Amino acid sequence: MRTPTPPERSVLDAVFDPLPDSMQPENPPAADKAEAKAEPESTPVPTGPAPDTVWGLKFKQWWAVLKDTVTEIGEDRVTSVAGGVTFFAILALFPAITALVSLFGVFADPALVNEQLDNLGKVVPPSALEIIRGQVQEIIKTPGTALSVAGIVGLLVTLWSANGGMKALIDGLNVALFQSEERGFIKLNLISLAMTVGAMVLVMLLVLAVAVLPAVLHMLPLVPDTKAILTMLRWPIMFAVLLLAISALYRWGPSRRAEGLGKISPGAVLATVGLIITSAGFSFYTSNFASYNETYGTLGAAVVLMMWMWLSSIVIMVGAEVNSVAAEHLREMKGEPKLSKRK
């Protein structure tokens, strides 16, 4: 008689039956994953003693900041963002001139502005200055009552159009500082409007200092030496006012302020000096070498004005990039994680 044998195991039984205890893995894969997730992430290691602000960085570190800034300028599309800011600034320029001259006419004769515009030739390209001069002359010819109405309308139009340019600049600052806009619609527009009004006041002060102050000093009964000293003092005062204005832009423009920049950031100093050098250099270039009229015909003066405003916007953006990169180097020295780029 044949001895009975155990029933044969099918392929499905071999696949789905549990393994013997001797063949069970010591750590199941699920447990491995859970343990891996529970492990703390490695924290950045400080690279050395870190100063309180970026002003304490050494020369070697500033050299690294310079090289990284050049890279960031390309990655953050600085020239394209500056082009958008220039577009809105052009839309706001002529209404702004109308508003500024009208407001100045409340306190003095607007013709004084036209008479002293030649003093702006030191920092404004001549072709661009001619466009501004033509607009000023048209405003001066307007009767007083209409001038006041034009000033109000121009001021409202300026705020509407220039606010778009300011928000474009704020967005560019957020890109430079690796940030996304976190402020609400109302808060963002209130901040941008406040900065737009501040920019208009700044322009008015600069025009008064450059174009009107010499005429006022000439009418005052002062000793010639005193007049000369006061005339020279306007330049460092203008530099200080411009520096404070750009510092305020870098402080309250972005969604969040980068840490460790100090009250006056290196980027603000660079942008202030850069604006003066760029404006004076471009004015000298267009006066002695470039001939935009031959290339663009009657649009030559407008092209010069756009180029000047575009270069100025680039300088402001580059200053923000310097602040961003310097702050990142300071974070690395302190052992803090780097900020990720905004997508």
Q: What is the secondary structure of 218-248 as a DSSP string?
A: HHS---HHHHHHHHHHHHHHHHHHHHHHHHH
For residue 212, name the pLDDT band (cuts at 50, 70, 90): low
Tell me, what's the pLDDT at 67? Answer: 92
b/e 216-229 (16+ beta carbons within 10 angstroms → b): eeeeeeeeeeeeee
Q: Is residue 36 part of a domain?
A: no
Listed in sequence order, the DSSP H helices in 208-338 are: 213-219, 224-252, 266-288, 292-296, 300-334
298-314 pLDDT, tens digit per residue, is 777 788 888 888 999 99
Return the ∠ at Cα 104 (arms to 102 and 108), rounded to 5°. Answer: 120
Is residue 40 in a domain?
no
2 inside domain: no
- Average pLDDT over the chain reads 74
Asked if the structure places residue 270 within a domain, the reply is yes
User: What is the DSSP secondary-structure string of 164-188?
Assistant: HHHHHHHHHHHHHTT----S-HHHH
- Residue 316 inside a domain? The answer is yes
Cβ atoms 113, 147 nearer than 8 A: no
Tell me whether residue 47 is in a domain: no
Please check the confidence at residue 10 and state whether its pLDDT lies above 90: no
Averaged over 138-155, what is the pLDDT? 60
Cβ 79 vs Cβ 134: under 8 Å? no
Overall domain count for the chain = 1
Neighbours of 89 (CB within 10 A): 25
Residues with Cβ within 8 Å of 247's Cβ and at least 6 positions away in sequence, in order, are 263, 264, 265, 268
In a domain, 286, yes or no: yes
Query: The domain containing residue 324 runs over which residues?
Result: 54-333
Find the mean pLDDT for residues 309-323: 92
Across 96-107, average pLDDT: 64
